[in-house]
Amino acid sequence: MLDYPAWAAGTQRLASGLHRWFPLFPTPREIWVVQSSGDPHEGLVLESAIGLAALGLRQGHSKSLIYEEVRHDGYKKWFEEYCHANSPKLVHLTLDEVLGRLLEARLVQGHLLFRYEQSDRPLHTDGKLDVSANVATSLAAAYKAVTVSEPLAARMEKLGLKLLLDVRERSEEWCLSQHDFSRNLLGTADPKTRHARSLMIALNAFVCSGRGEVYDQALARCSEDSPVLGWGCEAEDKQTIPSSRKGLFQTATNWCLNLPVFSSDAVGKAVSAEQLRYPHPQHWSSLDWGDGLHHVNFTLSDGDNVQWMMSSFTSGGEAPSYYGHPKRGLIPFTWGLPVPSLCQLSPRTLTEILGKATRNDDFMQFSGGGYFYPDLYGKARGGTRALELHAKRLRAYMDLTGIRILAFNFQDWDGVEAHKACEIFASKLPGLLGIFAFQYYPYSAGKGAIHWVKGVQNDEVPIVSCRFTIWAQTGRPRDATPAAIASHLNALPKAGEAINDDAFSWVMIHAWSRFRRAPKTAPLDAEEKDVPQDRVIPDSARGYEPGIWAVERLDSQVKPVTAAELLIRIRLRLRPRATLTRWLEDLENNRRTKARLHKRRGDLAQIKTLLPRTSNDVTAARQCFELLKSVGL
């Protein structure tokens, strides 16, 4: 079978050209390993200590990082691999010993005192907040101070860490005016959580709760196309609309730990570029014409959710619902990944996912390297500079991994601004196979319609909208159970002499919806009826398993395929002339097939005779495809 075109080569060179939204930390000579504590007060002290050690390493004042030993199979595996590749000296210490060493090395000067919020407010929700933890985190780098809540203040004093500033009555607004914070990223955090604060401190980020006027001011002062680290205290859209409009993207890193250590793993060196390449690319020469079939792709993702990828997606108790499902690979299936964020923050997570991929697993870059609404991106600043920057920066990650499919969440998927955004990405990304589009509410607003935009060298790039979602108990007509979605798909048109968008479907699986398997004779809504969505019950399932149930109910004329195959088929059947012309160019530019074409001059002449007729003559298009395929195999 044909290899991929020239863009697939030279991965080591591509790795060196990656744009880093998060700076690469130097490789430490020594790592201080500290046992994890279940106490939130100690956790916040440790998180700030990890951040200050990483800051010292970045500034050249230290050769050490701190790693928190956590009980998670993925973290354990990645840290073992990290140590094997980078060979740091490991020193096991207590928290107090770590603080003593930081003080002795002058990486810590004292502590900042804050008040830990004791409310019963659910995490990451709006309401009355005590934001002093965020103020302390923001100023930790400037003061070289660990962040300390009231119960631990006396203990810190005994260790020699004097009080430098009491921020218990200070606001985020006041804090923003006190220091020249980084303009290349913003931190958002619930004051009651500790995770990811180490990286915020190490990168001198301003940290806020992600709401209100101070959030808007903090976004506006940052450079276009910068990341928001963590997750704040507002509804999803109320956090993401303002950041999108200012040209920043969310990363959903709010439960991540040990980011300074994992982000010191250099791609192209300690993590080889080959480890980050998708191992099973789909090529058009392996396909048939597809008449008599309806082709459908099932995709599962939670967007640019880095913390999920580093936790229950791959390892732990919930992993069997997702990438750890014991039957993964049984059906063609697509997973959405935050590729650029993982390449920078935890590349070994990405190598594990790609390394374990079966031939039925393929991937798309969800949200294009961060969670933002492309139809709003940078609009508050005027123009399209933020989108163009992001698209240009994304190219090296696509070339590195070979994952050349994007998926975006739009506020208005088929509006003028969404179309313009897709045109920008298509024009900046050679080899882009296609874009999958869904709307914030509802996901399936596009009802399966397919739009087209011009790409590089007049390539026609399909924009495929979500037709249905496997999503429980929403009451929306296109969100339904696996059984109901299968029933809808069975009734859709099949490919034939006459063909349009309705012969192809993209179905999203809501990652968190629970269903209960039901007999085929049961009503179509039986799989969701009386199934609690807020807790685990023994006979329920979510994630990959409901996708299997849907596939099992499909008629033989409905064929599940990967996202890559769906896009290739859409290009072939709906834009045959442009597609077949490009495939011929691939053959003529490939050394092996170029020689084969030369020997088969008669077939080449016939292909070129057929090509002009392929736009409106299905028979000619099929003959041309079969001839091209015979050369490519």
Domain range summary for the chain, segments of one domain joined by +: 30-262, 285-570, 575-632
Mean pLDDT value of segment 5-27: 70
Query: For residues 464 and 501, what is the distance between their CA atoms, to the nearest angstrom?
Result: 9
The CA distance from 22 to 204, in Å, is 12
For 126-135, b/e burial (b = at least 16 CB within 10 A) is beebbbbbbb
In the predicted model, is pLDDT for residue 8 greater than 80?
Answer: no
Q: Is the pLDDT of residue 513 over 90?
A: yes
pLDDT of residue 590: 87
The answer to whether residue 6 scores a pLDDT higher than 70 is no
What does the alpha-carbon distance between residue 14 and residue 398 come to, in Å, rounded to a whole number?
A: 10
The Cα 284–Cα 287 span in angstroms is 6
Checking if the pLDDT of 475 tops 60, the result is yes
In contact, 385 and 224? CB cutoff 8 Å: yes
**β-strand 405-410 against 434-439: which pairing, if any?**
parallel
At position 471, the amino acid (one-letter code) is W
**What is the band of 595 on the pLDDT scale with cuts at 50, 70, 90?**
confident
Going by pLDDT thresholds of 50, 70 and 90, the confidence category of residue 14 is: low
Burial readout 508-532 (b: 16 or more C-beta within 10 A, e: otherwise):
bbbbebbbbbbeeeeebebbbeebe
Looking at the predicted structure, is the pLDDT value of residue 10 above 90?
Answer: no
Q: Reduced to 3 states, what is the DSSP secondary structure of residue 598? A: helix
Unique residue bearing structure tokens 């039957």: 327
Split at pLDDT 50, 70, 90, the class of 209 is very high
3-state secondary structure 73-123: HHHHHHHHHHHHHHCCEEEEECHHHHHHHHHHCCCCCEEEEECCCCCCCCC
**Residue 15, pLDDT score:** 65
Task: Tell me the average pLDDT of the chain.
Answer: 95
269 and 616 Cβ atoms separated by less than 8 Å: no
Out of 214-218, 328-332, 369-373, 402-406, which region has the weakest mean confidence (pLDDT)? Answer: 369-373
The predicted model gives 130-152 an average pLDDT of 98
CA dihedral 264, 265, 269, 270 (to 10 degrees): 130
For residue 226, what are the contacts with CB-CB under 8 A and spacing of at least 6?
A: 21, 183, 184, 185, 186, 247, 248, 249
Query: pLDDT > 90: what percent of the chain?
Result: 91
| pLDDT for residue 16 | 67
Per-residue confidence (pLDDT) for residue 593, from 0 to 100 = 85
Beta-sheet strands, E only, within 215-331: 226-230, 248-250, 294-301
- Distance (Å, whole) CA 205 – CA 203: 6
What pTM, to 2 d.p., does this model score?
Answer: 0.95
pLDDT single digits (tens) 212-250: 999 999 999 999 999 999 999 999 999 999 999 999 999
% of the chain residues with pLDDT over 70: 97
- Banded model confidence at residue 2, pLDDT cuts 50, 70, 90: very low
Residue 4 has pLDDT above 60, yes or no: no
What CATH fold (topology level) applies to the domain 285-570? TIM Barrel (3.20.20)
pLDDT digits (tens, 9 = 90+) for 352-383: 999 999 999 999 999 878 999 999 999 999 99
DSSP 267: B
Question: Residue 368: its pLDDT value, please?
Answer: 78
Strands 186-188 and 450-454: unpaired
